[in-house]
Amino acid sequence: MTVDESLKNLEVLEGIISYHFINRSLLLQAMTHTSYLNENPGWPVSHYERFEFLGDTVLQMIITEMLFKQYPHDAEGNLSVKRSVIVRKNMLSDIAKVLNLERFILIGNSEKNQIGSLSQSLLSDFVESLIASIYIDGGYEPAINFCRRYFQKLIDDVEQLQEEFNYKSNLQNFTQTNYHVLPEYRILEEKGPEHRKKYTVAVYVNGEEVAVGRGFSKKQAERKAARKALEKYKKD
């Protein structure tokens, strides 16, 4: 893909995120993987990794501010736990899928052939890189506007999300104590487009299906299955 073709393609991403760059080369760098530079030595920008480093800090700062304002009675420790739930890699990768971000990431053919679809970790890194490019181009205000658009629902639901993250560990403790085995999660179904795929996961204990959960990521589906399994065991 030529530079002009890449920049044209990134106009679509600008439309998705409702932010138009003063300097679109910043967005181009934010979406360029190291492997792409290796295969295209004349590429006019560097890779995303410095942006990802900055974006991690900017995101932490913005989420901290949003939580601080929305939960005025929470102590520092509670706010810190809430923030850690929201900025987990699986949360960021879910946002990457909503944005269909993989479509815009420039990655070398050798790397692409080796890994297939991008990992949860890599997708989350590119969300942070994108946030950094917005911050560098326009400052704090457009960066926080982006985060309000894509993270506000997570902040609204963070207490429920905290509970969900505990379900898997609670189920594991229960099955180890009562049955001396670990729960096993199996994917039953994957449906929908790559950027908005829905997973159906079953949790098994001693080879027996106990509960089924559905979600827009494997981990989300697993947490829902774990919650249903715990509820079933409590009833029994």
Quote the pTM value. 0.76
The last residue of one of the domains, among 125, 156, 187, is 156
Predicted confidence at residue 139, as pLDDT, reads 97
Does 63 share its domain with 140? yes
CATH number of the domain enclosing 107: 1.10.1520.10
What is the spatial distance between Cα 210 and Cα 168, in angstroms, rounded to a whole number?
A: 13
Q: Are 106 and 10 in contact (CB under 8 A)?
A: no
Which pLDDT does position 116 carry in this prediction? 60
- State the pLDDT at residue 120: 85
- Do residues 210 and 152 lie in contact, with contact meaning Cβ atoms separated by under 8 Å? no
162 or 26, which is more confident: 26
Mapping DSSP to helix (H, G, I), strand (E, B) and coil, where does residue 45 land? Answer: coil
Instruction: State which residues form the domain around 63.
Output: 3-156
The count of domains in the chain is 2
Give residue 193's pLDDT.
79
Report how far residue 123's alpha carbon sits from residue 181's, in angstroms, rounded to the nearest whole number: 33
* 139 and 165 assigned to the same domain: no
| pLDDT, tens only, 100-112 | 999 999 999 888 7
60 shares its domain with 148: yes
Whether the predicted pLDDT of 236 surpasses 80: no
CATH (domain of 166): 3.30.160.20
Last residue of a domain, one of 128, 156, 184: 156
Is the pLDDT at 189 greater than 70? The verdict is yes
- For residue 136, the model assigns a pLDDT of 98
What does the pLDDT look like over 194-226, one tens digit per residue? Answer: 767 899 999 999 999 999 999 888 888 998 999
**pLDDT-based confidence at residue 52 (cuts at 50, 70, 90):** very high
d(CA 55, CA 192): 30
pLDDT for position 152:
95
Last residue of a domain, one of 130, 156, 182: 156
The catalytic site residues sit at: 56, 128
Confidence of residue 1 (pLDDT cuts 50, 70, 90): confident
134 and 182, same domain (yes or no): no
